[in-house]
């Protein structure tokens, strides 16, 4: 009798276990994991006020839903151009140590072959992708890399298990593989699939933003199990020049910008204040030297300018639409609520025109190829084979309260729209104004995943320790553990330099943008960096000069030899 009872008990336990396992399988998609998925979304050259949640008029409902329901960072800073930012983003280390002390394309003779100026992500840093992969994450990226083209320096060599990447800084957004700049018309933009260079793009590569998301979804579906957390790095090339977008998206914005960039600047400035992403007391930025008021343009020039902004808006719109597809995929797979999403631009708005970017005297071969192989007609603008930049006017409106734009250490070059979203790890509906850096992303992601950085040694090799700090207290809505009012951030690129401590900032820039002297600004009262207080606040000025010298020495900065007065 006892044996019979024991058999019944064993059978019942077995059935209970079976049903429990079946039930677990049914609800596995919504299991509360200890390690979150991580989705890092980077856009290229987006202005601070381009998306709706930061003051823009462009239709961005998917991004805005995440931003409004998450935490927006109103004082988040990057380098002033793309590859230096990306090196810090993925390492937590200053770009002067990570290999991008200057962009590969801009290295001066005295910087070449010097440590920290390799022009690619060097071996002295370990990437967040590598560390998360070591911790059991599935690591995948899709989009722009720009951190090394040669074997050993592609995404698959730096921690990404699966990667589709544009290795260079820019290219046509369509499938023709035209590089954004090349000295010969035969050269193709370099793309790689898991480390292997591609001779042609897939047939379903219709537009960059569309294909990058397609490829990310395919990659996430390839995981052996959804129980394995993922780190996804989605790196759009939009809205980097040449400005191009699908015809239907461009048509959506036809006529929207007929009033011109001066009107747009005031509209965005007002909305940004209402949203609280800039102070209510903020003034419009000062016009840059090459700026021309809208009412001084001829009718033909206005048509071209208007069309350029229509194409640009369509590119931002496409980023939103394609991001929405990825969000829907995560929602339908039951993984969205366990995914921490961080969105940011790699620098401020691009605002140069074609003559400035590819001056015929400095880059004769490249400029010749651009001029001879592209269609510059009004009808072609934004379509395959066209070459469009959107210039000073729209660039100024892109960051209406900040001075200048991409390639400058002023607020317009380094302060970018950024936000985080997740219902568990990120506070809902918050604005945070702490001084934050792109270097903070890697330590934040590692802390989220419960992964330690190795410090100064990784697998027997000496590496740089991180200089960023975790933003997790800011994400969670608690008081920051770091005193951000006294935080120090230095910046240098192309010999243009800055040092920030809290709201105080010194900036040094060449003519015609400045007088090649250090200026001091109080950003609390002068966000546009228009009033030089160096003579009024001599003690603060000297203090910041001392901090700059410490930053310069610590990071072995080499000012380009073509910069005078240093």
- Cis bond upstream, residue 479 (ω within 30): no
Q: Give residue 14's pLDDT.
A: 39
Are 326 and 234 a contacting pair, CB within 8 Å?
yes
Closest CA to 232 of 140, 337, 342, 135: 140
CATH of the domain at 221: 3.40.720.10
The residues that are catalytic are 82, 146
d(CA 317, CA 58): 7
φ and ψ of 228, to 5 deg: -85, 120
- For residue 503, being part of any structural domain is answered with no
**Cα 544 to Cα 131: distance, rounded to the nearest angstrom:** 35
> Would 472 be classed as within a structural domain?
yes
Question: Which tokens belong to 95?
Answer: 């770009």
CA 492 to chain centre: 18
Contact 436, 471 (CB under 8 A): yes
In a domain, 118, yes or no: yes
- What are the backbone dihedrals phi and psi of residue 40, each rounded to the nearest 5 degrees, phi first? -105, 115
Cβ pair 382, 311 in contact under 8 A: yes
**CA 60/CA 62 separation, integer angstroms:** 6
Residue 253 lies in a domain: no
pTM: 0.93
Report how far residue 260's alpha carbon sits from residue 237's, in angstroms, rounded to the nearest whole number. Answer: 26
Instruction: Please give the full DSSP string across 204-243, using - where no structure is assigned.
Output: T--SHHHHHHHHHHHHHHTSS-TTS-EEEEEE--TTSSSP
Q: Burial letters for 418-447: b for 16+ Cβ neighbours within 10 Å, e otherwise?
A: bbbbbeebbeeebebbbbbbbbbbbbbbbb
Look at residue 325 in the predicted model and tell me its pLDDT. Answer: 98
> Is residue 280 a part of any domain in this protein?
yes
Cα-Cα-Cα-Cα dihedral sign, residues 116, 343, 330, 27: positive
Distance CA 548, CA 133 (A): 36
Helix (H) or strand (E) holding 421: strand 415-421
* CA distances for 153 relative to 99, 146, 293, angstroms: 11, 10, 45
The three-state DSSP-derived secondary structure of 271-330 is HHHHHCCCCCCCCCCCCCCCCCCHHHCCHHHHHHHHHHHHHHHHHHHHHHHHHHHHHHHH
Residue 27: the pLDDT is: 29
18 domain-assigned? no
The span from the CA of 359 to the CA of 378, in Å, is: 22
- Count Cβ atoms below 10 Å from residue 19 Cβ, excluding itself: 10
Degrees (nearest 5) of the Cα angle 64, 219, 169? 70
Element (H, E) at 196: strand 196-197
Residue 519, classed as helix, strand or coil, is strand
Written as tens digits, the pLDDT of the chain (566 aa) is 434 334 433 333 333 333 333 333 322 333 335 799 999 999 999 999 999 999 999 999 999 999 999 999 999 999 999 999 999 999 999 999 999 999 999 999 999 999 999 999 999 999 999 999 999 999 999 999 999 999 999 999 999 999 999 999 999 999 999 999 999 999 999 999 999 999 999 999 999 999 999 999 999 999 988 889 999 999 999 999 999 999 999 999 999 999 999 999 999 999 999 999 999 999 999 998 889 999 999 999 999 999 999 999 999 999 999 999 999 999 999 999 999 999 999 999 999 888 888 888 889 999 999 999 999 999 999 999 999 999 999 999 999 999 999 999 999 999 999 999 999 999 999 999 999 999 999 999 999 999 999 999 999 999 999 999 999 999 999 876 667 788 999 999 999 999 999 999 999 998 888 888 999 999 999 999 999 999 999 999 999 999 999 999 999 999 999 886 55
557 belongs to a structural domain:
no
**Cβ-Cβ contacts under 8 Å for 170 (sequence gap 6 or more):** 44, 144, 179, 180, 181, 189, 237, 240, 241, 242
Provide the domain limits for residue 47.
Answer: 33-246+261-482
In a domain, 47, yes or no: yes
Contacts for 549 with CB less than 8 Å, ≥ 6 apart: none
What total of structural domains would you count in the chain? 1
The answer to whether the beta carbons of residues 117 and 99 sit under 8 Å apart is yes
- pLDDT score recorded for residue 480: 62
The candidate with the shortest Cα–Cα distance to 490, out of 429, 415, 549, 423, is 549
């Amino acid at each position: 009798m006892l044996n019979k009872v024991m058999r019944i008990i064993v059978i019942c336990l077995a059935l209970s276990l079976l049903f429990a396992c079946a039930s677990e399988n049914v609800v596995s998609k919504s299991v509360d994991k200890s390690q979150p998925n991580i989705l890092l979304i980077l856009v290229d050259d987006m202005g601070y006020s381009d998306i709706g949640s930061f003051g823009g008029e462009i239709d961005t409902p998917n991004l805005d839903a995440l931003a409004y329901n998450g935490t927006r960072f109103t004082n988040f800073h990057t380098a002033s151009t793309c590859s230096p930012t990306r090196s810090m983003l993925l390492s937590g280390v200053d770009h002067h140590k990570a290999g991008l002390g200057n962009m590969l394309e801009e290295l001066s003779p005295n910087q070449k072959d010097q440590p920290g100026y390799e022009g690619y992500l060097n071996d002295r840093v370990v990437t967040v992708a590598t560390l998360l992969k070591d911790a059991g994450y599935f690591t995948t990226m899709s989009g722009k890399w720009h951190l090394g083209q040669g074997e050993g320096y592609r995404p698959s060599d730096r921690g990404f298990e699966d990667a589709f990447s544009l290795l260079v800084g820019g290219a046509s957004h369509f499938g023709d593989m035209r590089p954004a700049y090349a000295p010969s018309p035969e050269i193709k933009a370099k793309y790689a699939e898991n480390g292997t260079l591609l001779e042609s793009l897939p047939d379903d590569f219709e537009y960059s933003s569309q294909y990058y998301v397609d490829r990310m979804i395919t990659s996430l579906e390839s995981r052996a199990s959804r129980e394995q957390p993922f780190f996804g790095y989605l790196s759009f090339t939009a809205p980097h020049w040449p400005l191009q977008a699908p015809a239907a998206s461009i048509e959506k914005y036809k006529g929207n910008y007929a009033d011109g960039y001066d009107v747009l600047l005031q509209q965005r400035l007002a909305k940004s204040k209402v949203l609280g992403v800039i102070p209510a007391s903020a003034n419009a930025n000062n016009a840059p030297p090459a700026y021309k008021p809208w009412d001084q343009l001829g009718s033909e020039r206005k048509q071209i300018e208007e069309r350029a902004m229509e194409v640009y808006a369509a590119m931002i719109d496409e980023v939103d639409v394609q991001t929405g597809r990825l969000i829907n995929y995560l929602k339908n797979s039951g993984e969205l609520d366990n995914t921490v999403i961080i969105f940011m631009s790699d620098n401020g708005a691009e605002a140069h025109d074609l003559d400035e970017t590819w001056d015929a005297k400095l880059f004769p071969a490249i400029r010749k190829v651009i001029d001879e192989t592209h269609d510059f007609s009004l009808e072609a603008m934004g379509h395959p084979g066209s070459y469009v930049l959107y210039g000073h006017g729209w660039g100024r409106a892109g960051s209406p309260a900040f001075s200048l734009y991409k390639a400058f250490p002023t607020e317009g070059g380094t302060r970018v729209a950024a936000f985080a979203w997740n219902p568990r790890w990120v506070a809902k509906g918050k604005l945070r104004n702490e001084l934050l850096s792109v270097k903070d992303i890697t330590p934040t992601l590692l802390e989220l995943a419960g992964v330690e950085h190795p410090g100064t040694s990784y697998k027997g090799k000496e590496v740089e320790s991180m200089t960023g700090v975790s933003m997790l207290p800011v994400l969670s809505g608690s008081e920051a553990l770091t005193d951000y009012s006294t935080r120090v951030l230095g910046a240098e690129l192309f010999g243009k330099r800055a040092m920030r401590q809290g709201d105080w900032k010194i900036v040094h820039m060449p003519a015609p943008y400045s007088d090649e002297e250090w200026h001091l600004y109080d950003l609390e009262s002068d966000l546009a960096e228009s009033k030089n207080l160096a003579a009024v606040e001599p003690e603060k000025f000297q203090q910041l000069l001392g901090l700059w010298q410490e930053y310069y020495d610590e990071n072995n900065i080499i000012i380009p030899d073509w910069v005078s007065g240093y």
